[in-house]
Structure 1
Amino acid sequence: MIGGASSLTILPVPAIIGYSDVTTVYTSVEKSKVASKHLMIYSVFLFGLAFAAEYWLPLQIIAALFAALAHEGLRLIGKRAEAKRSVLFVHPNDGLRVLEVIPGSPAARMGIKSGETIKKVNGIPVTDKRGLYEALQSQSAFAKLEIINLSGHIKLVQHSLYEGDHHQLGIILAPDDEAPYYIEMEDHNLLKLFRQKAEKIFRGA
Structure 2
Amino acid sequence: MGLDWLLELLKGTLKLFLHPVFYYCFFIAAALGVSRVKRERKNFSVRSENAYFELRQLLPLGIVIGIGISIVTITAGITIPFATILFMAVLTILLSATTKPRLIAPVYVVGLAFFLTVVAGGEEWSVPLFRDAFHQLDEKIFPSIAALLSLLVIGEGLLILINGKKGTSPKLMKSKRGQRVGLHEVKRLWMVPVFLFIPGTALQAPFEWWPVFSIGTESYSMILVPFAVGFHQQIQGMLPKVAIQAFGKKVVALGIFLALLSVGSYWLPILAIGVVAIAIVGREVLTLRQRIKDDDSPFYFSKQNHGVMILGVLPGSPASKMALQVGELVTKVNGTLVHDEQTFYEALQRNRAHCKLEVLDVNGQVRFVQRALYEGDHHELGILFVQEEKKWGTAAV
Equivalent residue in structure 2 for 1:119, among 331, 334, 337:
331
**In 1, distance between residues paired with 2:375 and 2:263?**
60
Alignment of 1:138 with 2:350, yes or no, is: yes
- Would the aligned equivalents of 1:105 and 1:169 in 2 still touch at CA under 8 Å? yes
1:84 offset after TM fit, Å? Answer: 5.7
Equivalent residue in structure 2 for 1:158, among 344, 358, 370:
370
1:85 offset after TM fit, Å? Answer: 3.8
**In 2, distance between residues paired with 1:177 and 1:164?**
27
**In 2, distance between residues paired with 1:177 and 1:53?**
58
Instruction: Identify, as 1 or 2, the structure richer in strand.
Output: 2
1:108 offset after TM fit, Å? Answer: 1.8
**In 1, distance between residues paired with 2:255 and 2:231?**
12
1:129 offset after TM fit, Å? Answer: 2.5
CA displacement, residues 2-49 of structure 1 (integer Å, 9 cap, x when unaligned):
xxxxx9644757887744211112223212311221111011112222
CA displacement, residues 76-114 of structure 1 (integer Å, 9 cap, x when unaligned):
331343256432111212321101212332212222110
Give the secondary structure class of the aligned counterpart of 1:167.
Answer: coil
Q: TM-score, normalised by structure 1?
A: 0.75
Equivalent residue in structure 2 for 1:48, among 247, 260, 263:
260
For structure 2, the residue ranges without an aligned partner over 5 or more in a row are: 1-120, 123-137, 150-227
- Would the aligned equivalents of 1:90 and 1:175 in 2 still touch at CA under 8 Å? no
Structure 2 match to 1:110: 322
- Trace 1:21-60 onto structure 2 (pairs within 5 A): 21-60=233-272
Greater shift in the superposed pair: 111-120 or 76-85: 76-85
Alignment of 1:169 with 2:381, yes or no, is: yes
Alignment of 1:98 with 2:295, yes or no, is: no
**In 2, distance between residues paired with 1:130 and 1:19?**
36
1:70 offset after TM fit, Å? Answer: 0.2
Alignment of 1:180 with 2:362, yes or no, is: no
Instruction: Identify, as 1 or 2, the structure richer in helix.
Output: 2
Matched letter for residue 158 of structure 1:
Q
**In 2, distance between residues paired with 1:171 and 1:64?**
45
**In 2, distance between residues paired with 1:162 and 1:76?**
47
For structure 1, the residue ranges without an aligned partner over 5 or more in a row are: 1-6, 185-205
- Would the aligned equivalents of 1:133 and 1:168 in 2 still touch at CA under 8 Å? yes
Give the number of the structure with larger relative contact order, counting CA–CA contacts within 8 Å between residues 6 or more apart: 2
Q: Does the C-alpha gap of structure 1 residues 98 and 176 become closer, same or farther in structure 2, counting only changes over 3 Å?
A: same
Structure 2 match to 1:190: none
**In 2, distance between residues paired with 1:17 and 1:165?**
38
Equivalent residue in structure 2 for 1:74, among 278, 282, 286:
286
Q: Does the C-alpha gap of structure 1 residues 161 and 148 become closer, same or farther in structure 2, counting only changes over 3 Å?
A: same
Q: TM-score, normalised by structure 2?
A: 0.41
CA RMSD in angstroms, aligned pairs only: 2.5
CA displacement, residues 117-144 of structure 1 (integer Å, 9 cap, x when unaligned):
1112112222333322222111021101
- Would the aligned equivalents of 1:89 and 1:97 in 2 still touch at CA under 8 Å? yes
**In 2, distance between residues paired with 1:33 and 1:17?**
17
Matched letter for residue 105 of structure 1:
S
What number of residue pairs does the alignment pair up? Answer: 178
- Would the aligned equivalents of 1:141 and 1:162 in 2 still touch at CA under 8 Å? yes
What fraction of aligned residue pairs are identical, expressed as a percent? 29
**In 2, distance between residues paired with 1:19 and 1:141?**
43
Matched letter for residue 284 of structure 2:
E
1:158 offset after TM fit, Å? Answer: 0.8
**In 1, distance between residues paired with 2:377 and 2:357?**
16
Matched letter for residue 394 of structure 2:
Y
